[in-house]
Amino acid sequence: MELHHEFTVPVPAADAWRILTNLEQLAPCLPGAQLTEVEGEIYRGQVKVKVGPIVAQFKGQASFVTRDDTGYTASLKAEGVEFDSVK
């Protein structure tokens, strides 16, 4: 699955970038997400996703594949497995 999303925030790009690339600071801002472990550049956690009446929970890990701090672009690789879900 590939996700792409754009939005505008009313702060200087450098300030927004510092927060958006700090996954420990960003995770609490994402509903249903919980960061459980950081090991070097690997971030592990879980997320609960609800689409209509279906609820799924995933646990896994993410890491930056590319990160350009001057051009403000990045891509992450995330992988995980479903667990303890209610359908």
Kindly tell me if the per-residue pLDDT of 87 is higher than 60.
no
Q: Is residue 79 part of a domain?
A: yes
Closest C-alpha among 53, 75, 80 to residue 64: 75
Q: Is residue 4 part of a domain?
A: no
Total domains present in the chain: 1
Domain that holds residue 27: 13-86
> What pLDDT is recorded for position 8?
86
Closest C-alpha among 69, 50, 48 to residue 58: 48
Kindly tell me if the per-residue pLDDT of 25 is higher than 80.
yes
- The residue among 8 and 62 whose pLDDT is bigger is 62
> What pLDDT is recorded for position 85?
60
Q: Is residue 64 part of a domain?
A: yes
Q: Is residue 57 part of a domain?
A: yes
pTM of the full structure: 0.76
* DSSP string of 14-36, one letter each residue: HHHHHHHT-HHHHGGGSTTEEEE
CA 75 to chain centre: 11
Kindly tell me if the per-residue pLDDT of 44 is higher than 70.
yes
Q: Is residue 60 part of a domain?
A: yes
